[in-house]
Structure 1
């Protein structure tokens, strides 16, 4: 069965299965169902992840199996050129791409330069093709985690570390300048709380430099952190009077267990909420703050949460935000929550997928993290499975 071309409507309905899975063939639909069924078993996910990593390290012939299953569902290809097939399929459904080089960077200057070179190739590709409006950048891919942590802790840097951090900032500036000139957008990923402050400072510096007329650079706020509403409010206050459009991407957060364990180990208060409802309120509160300041903010709501997605859609409609496609973005991970992404795009909203790519062996840790995160999201697996099952039944497979 070939994929289906859907004509746009004006109503967002996340339960419209025909639109949600319009880009999936019967074979892809069955594979997705199988994968989410397996991912609903956390122990199996952990054991399978460890076994797969070691099998690839030992040179066992499992690459074809991995590439034909979990890799093909969550990744676009081993190169950016390979990923263009997925990019074009999504573009046909009015879904944009956030291209994400997902390989784990080597923690040295050569590794950081390699990531820079890869991102610069992506920017040139985006400029030539016009098919990649967004790219994702992890600051730990272009700079040392240890130096970010020392900066956060206020520890003095050696002369060599100061020079290394200047090179990190230079790499980021090269990326942002190229994105500005190519008329594309850079989403800077968030990291653990004990690394984030100097990353926030770099993001703010780049926004002041390149975001005069549009949000070229977005910083990511993990709203499960207890301090992010205060940070957002303070950022808005500090940026008053500057010619800058703040790029704000909000997510719920990906490191909750790690954050709680480290706080307990080091004896400081947990920086993240313990109750999901508090995170939900924080996320929706950030939406409200951004909408109140939309004259100087561009917002990306990167979430798989249907309630928050509906909330933002309803606010856009209620407030009559006519230029929402330029100022408000929705985003989900490739291979997940297609019912949100494709129905948002079909209803005329700016919707995108984070599309990772990279060599199977080096992106496998990324895919395992995605799988483990998904198993920990309350109700996520059940929701995905019920939708896939309903579509399989609808198609009579």
Structure 2
């Protein structure tokens, strides 16, 4: 790694350095990755395979071992946090931090929400003694009811039971953020569909007011494929201007584009997301610009697999000589994806992490299937992954 120690300015980011990208991957892992990305390059196969897998798990067919040793092994840290810890340590040895993500979807009971809350709290305590485990990801839909979030977003009145349930959701989130503040851990609050997002934004802002006094403990996630997120970011910067708060802003492109567009068509309202990729790219880079202009009062996490956006941000860091970039600017990619970005960013001296999901195979399958479908829709993503794998396999004579 090359770095200017005097000014803490990182070295040159080279996403084509295969030795850095794959130096921690065995020959078996290379072959598995190549097979998986070959399959994921066929959207119809991904969709059919996802439906078949869900059906097989539901009726108890013995497919869990196959899933665990293929797609699960590549994209997840394991079924338990102790299995995930081995991956955390491996990433840490490459100077890559971990954002631990308990992949327990489809919870819809108070007991289920409490179980997720308790698991996240245990993970925060684990992070105290685990090098490289610095961040926790939290989905509000994992600790609270979708239907209540949707009613609040629409401005509908809640029943007394619903108010009580939402209060409990807020308490769970507060417990998590408070524990993270005390443990020196960062909390990334995930974004959801547009029709659930307003109460999530409000809760995230309240948590930032409570816990982001000295540093950004809590980050809110902005999906920049939404047409209103640049305006939302400007609004946040404006109304937090006189408050003693370090904003935590995580920017992503977005995860539900087809779902958002379909719902807008069916219900007859304007699509809340851009229809052209170029508009999303401009929105994402505009958010980078706004955050850099206000870097003295916020921390930025650029969670993206887009090489151009990453190069744009790394070049700005160098051009502007941002000496405290490791404290103020974070990069992140999904575990199992875009290793050429993650490991070469870390090698050049940037603050970089992997989003690492873990959880029991059956309960984590909705997460995996959504990720697989997202990745097949990213223009050029599978081709890029396969090309890099082919070059490295050729170099290794595999």
Shorter-chain TM range is: over 0.9
Distance in 2 (alpha carbons) for counterparts of 1:327 and 1:242 = 18
Q: 1:58 and 2:59 equivalent?
A: yes
> Which residue of the partner structure matches residue 127 of structure 1?
128
Corresponding residue for 2:33? 32
Q: TM-score, normalised by structure 2?
A: 0.97
**How far, CA to CA, are the matches of 2:106 and 2:328 in structure 1?**
32
For residues 297 and 101 of structure 1, what CA distance do their matches in structure 2 show? 26
Shift of 1:251: 0.2
> Quick one: distance in 1 between partners of 2:337 and 2:157?
43
Partner of 1:194: 195
Partner residue, 2:229? 228
Provide the C-alpha distance between the structure 1 equivalents of 2:309 and 2:345, rounded to a whole number of angstroms: 13
1:103-142 pair list within 5 angstroms:
103-142=104-143
The 5 A counterparts of 1:1-397 are 10-397=11-398
Question: Given that residues 74 and 356 in structure 1 are in contact (C-alpha distance below 8 angstroms), is that contact kept between their aligned partners in structure 2?
Answer: yes
The alpha carbon displacement at 1:394 in A equals: 1.2
Q: CA deviation at 1:31?
A: 0.4
- Give the Cα–Cα distance (whole angstroms) in 2 for the partners of residues 370 and 269 of structure 1: 26
How many angstroms does 1:343 deviate by? 0.1
List gaps (5 residues or longer) in structure 2: 4-10
2: distance between equivalents of 1:50 and 1:23?
Answer: 33
Equivalent position of 1:3 in the other structure: none
Of the structure 1 ranges 219-228 and 260-269, higher mean CA displacement relative to structure 2 is found in 260-269
| Distance (whole Å) between structure 2 residues aligned to residue 232 and residue 347 of structure 1 | 29
Report if the CA contact (8 A) 2:89-2:131 is conserved: no
TM-score normalised by structure 1 residue count: 0.97
The DSSP-based 3-state class of the residue aligned with 2:115 is helix
Aligned residues: 391
Structure 2 Cα separation of the partners of residues 258 and 56 of structure 1:
25
Deviates more, 1:126-135 or 1:25-34: 126-135
Using the TM superposition, give the Cα deviation of residue 8 of structure 1 relative to its aligned residue in structure 2, in angstroms.
5.6
Tell me by how many angstroms 1:59 deviates.
1.1
CA shift digits 1:249-286 (9 cap, x unpaired): 00000000110111111111100000000000000000
Structure 1 unaligned residues grouped into runs of 5+: 1-6
**2:24 & 2:61 partners in 1: Cα distance?**
33
Query: Secondary structure, in 3 states, of the residue corresponding to 1:279?
Result: helix
Residues in 2 aligned to 1:337 and 1:272: alpha-carbon distance in whole angstroms: 24
- Mean Cα displacement is larger for which, 10-19 or 342-351? 10-19
State the distance in 2 between where 1:298 and 1:210 align. Answer: 14
Please list every run of at least 4 consecutive aligned residues from structure 1 whose deviation after the TM superposition is greater than 6 angstroms.
none
Is the 1:136–1:188 contact (alpha carbons within 8 Å) kept by the matching residues of 2?
A: yes
Q: CA deviation at 1:231?
A: 0.3
| 1:105/1:112 contact within 8 Å kept | no
C-alpha separation in 2, matches of 1:119 and 1:334: 19
CA distance in 2, matches of 1:106, 1:270: 28
For the 8 Å contact 2:96–2:132, the answer to whether it is kept is no
